[in-house]
DNA sequence: TATATATTCGACACATGTGTCAAATTAATA
DNA sequence: TATTAATTTGACACATGTGTCGAATATATA
């Protein structure tokens, strides 16, 4: 019994992601959120206590889905695994930008937000461990040039995800192109 | 005669740049700005009429300085010119992020902001022309691989500027490393 | 149809940011 | 030192966002 909810928590978090990416953490607020949802602003407080909790929950949700995909990768072929991993990152290319605002969230007034951000940090570390493991293997297998420091190669790899897809090809082929460029270089 | 100004327009714009990068365009406001300046918030209105004009003037100032450096490049050696250009972009690596907020500025209430943003757009186009010219030459000179579309190579080059300098080496050497990686690739 | 209850709604008190203006302050010069 | 003018200041009216709460609404079930 009782009344039907006019939107789900999932819809709320999806919308939050879009709006935080569009306006930045500081530019995001609950009135803005409510203007893109059916119903009154005060209804949002049925789902979360404040902006901090909403954004923290949103970040946790996004990074958790990436962790799930990344941990399912077959790592038996190192370079193949790196290419697949890049594909996952490119698919969620806004992840980095979104998480960049995590430090702005004031957690002093919300235990829930604090807990969610701990999960985010944990997940971030897990992804870093995987990336480091793959790169160390690639180096041991003599797959990487040695005249450029490993952190630079890793930074360059990771930064690929931000490359705007100007020629607008589907994500899988796009990530393959980026990987090729990163591996072989631009020079003929 | 009269009283001395307590800060210069330059100081105001430098601070604006820092704060817009830190908080995003939406998170930036005049009270925040005044809290990082000596004196009262209302003093700011002696310099500019509102937030829109301040940020537009700030963007114009930054991109103008980049244009000056970029137009002084000796383009006789194409690949050398590209490396120097990358150095300039890396030096002002926040430029891209800063200008990304340009479309958010509401120019309907300020002719001054509108004029400044026109200059920004013009400068942006000028930089793009130079980059395209250099890349077309590099391609004609058979300096670039042909199995990857030119826009992808350009996008990859331009995206290098966002690579975080984790090993914290001085900018000139850093940009050289990035250029090497972009040219030769990560693979041995 | 009547009842129980989950959900929504809108108004209220509060907090923060904006733009203006007359009065106060400061510094050069007569 | 007195005058003049550029600059600063703080208060005011207004605008926008926040979190809460009692009343109103909708829906499953008896």
Nearest-Cα distance to chain B for A4, in Å, is 35
Residue with structure tokens 């695994």? A81
CA distance A1 to A3: 7
Residues of chain A with confidence (pLDDT) below 70: none
* Mean pLDDT to the nearest integer, B37-62: 98
- Is the CB of B7 within 7 Å of strand D? yes
Is A159 in contact with B163 (Cβ distance < 8 A)? Answer: yes
CA distance A69 to B175: 33
Average pLDDT, chain B: 96
Q: What is the pLDDT of residues B70-87, one digit of tens each?
A: 999 999 999 999 999 999
Angstrom distance, A33 CA to C9 C1': 17
Tokens standing for residue B86: 């990358």
Q: Which residues are within 7 Å of strand C by their Cβ atom?
A: A 1-7, 38-40, 42-43, 46; B 1-4, 29-32, 41-42, 45, 49-51
Q: What is the pLDDT of residues B119-168, one digit of tens each?
A: 999 999 999 999 999 999 999 999 999 999 999 999 999 999 999 999 99
Is B186 in contact with A148 (Cβ distance < 8 A)? Answer: yes
The residue among A1 and B178 whose pLDDT is bigger is: B178
Closest C-alpha to A162, from A97, A100, A101:
A97
Residue A72, judged by CB atoms within 10 A of its CB (0-12, 13-18, 19+), counts as exposed
Dihedral (C-alpha) A173, A178, A179, A181: value to the nearest 10 degrees?
Answer: 130
Dihedral (C-alpha) A131, A180, B97, A26: value to the nearest 10 degrees?
Answer: -40
pTM for this prediction: 0.91
CA distance B136 to B134: 6
In sequence order, the β-bridge partners of residue B187 are A144
Decide if B44 contacts B77 (C-beta within 8 A). no
pLDDT at B58 > cutoff 80: yes
pLDDT at B109 > cutoff 90: no
Residue with structure tokens 């300085």? B65
CA distance A30 to A44: 8
Closest C-alpha to A54, from B27, B70, A46:
A46
**Helices A111-140, A150-159: crossing angle, 10 deg rounding:** 120
Q: What is the pLDDT of residues A40-81, one digit of tens each?
A: 999 999 999 999 999 999 999 999 999 999 999 999 999 999
Q: Does B180 touch chain A (CB under 8 A)?
A: yes
Residue A2's pLDDT is what?
83
Residue A150, judged by CB atoms within 10 A of its CB (0-12, 13-18, 19+), counts as middle
Residue B42's pLDDT is what?
98
Residue B1's pLDDT is what?
74
Q: Is B39 left (phi over 0), alpha (psi -120 to 50) or beta?
A: left
> Which DSSP string corresponds to A7-20?
S-HHHHHHHHHHHH
Annotate B123-148 with b (16+ C-beta within 10 A) or e (fewer).
Answer: bbeebeebbeebbeebbeeebbbeeb
Q: Does B32 touch chain A (CB under 8 A)?
A: no
In sequence order, the β-bridge partners of residue A187 are B144
- Is the CB of B31 within 7 Å of strand D? no
Is A167 in contact with B151 (Cβ distance < 8 A)? Answer: yes
In sequence order, the β-bridge partners of residue B144 are A187
A51-184 homologous superfamily: Tetracycline Repressor, domain 2 (1.10.357.10)
Residue B188's pLDDT is what?
81
Question: Which of A55, A98, A176, A186 best probes binding to B when mutated, by most B CB atoms within 10 angstroms?
Answer: A186
Tokens standing for residue A184: 């072989």
Distance of CA A80 to the CA centre of its chain: 21
Q: Does B140 touch chain A (CB under 8 A)?
A: no
Residue B142's pLDDT is what?
96
Q: Where are the alpha helices (DSSP H) in chain A?
A: 9-27, 30-35, 51-71, 78-91, 94-99, 111-140, 150-159, 171-184
Q: What is the pLDDT of residues A95-107, one digit of tens each?
A: 998 999 999 999 9
Positions of chain D reached by protein Cβ under 7 A? 4-11, 16-21, 25-29
Contacts of A160 in chain B (CB under 8 A): 156, 159
Nearest residue of B to residue A167 by CA position? B151
Q: Please report, for chain B, the start and end positions of each structural domain, with discontinuous segments joined by +.
A: 51-184
How much of chain B exceeds pLDDT 90, in percent? 97
Neighbours of B37 (CB within 10 A): 15
Q: Does A100 touch chain B (CB under 8 A)?
A: no
CA distance B130 to A19: 35
Angstrom distance, A71 CA to D23 C1': 50
């Amino acid at each position: 019994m009782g009344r039907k909810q006019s939107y789900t928590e999932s819809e709320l978090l999806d919308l939050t992601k879009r709006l935080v990416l569009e306006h930045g953490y500081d530019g995001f607020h609950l009135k803005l959120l409510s203007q893109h949802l059916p119903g009154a602003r005060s209804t949002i407080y049925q789902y979360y206590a404040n902006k901090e909790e909403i954004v923290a929950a949103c970040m946790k949700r996004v990074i958790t889905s990436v962790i799930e995909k990344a941990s399912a990768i077959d790592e038996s072929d190192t370079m193949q695994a790196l290419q697949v991993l890049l594909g996952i990152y490119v698919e969620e290319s806004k992840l980095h930008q979104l998480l960049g605002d995590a430090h702005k969230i004031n957690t002093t007034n919300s235990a829930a937000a604090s807990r969610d951000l701990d999960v985010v940090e944990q997940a971030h570390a897990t992804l870093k461990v995987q990336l480091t493991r793959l790169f160390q293997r690639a180096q041991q297998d003599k797959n990487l040039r040695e005249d450029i420091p490993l952190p630079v190669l890793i930074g360059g790899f990771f930064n690929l995800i931000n490359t705007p897809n100007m020629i607008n090809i589907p994500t899988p082929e796009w990530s393959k192109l980026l990987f090729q460029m990163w591996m072989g270089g631009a020079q003929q």
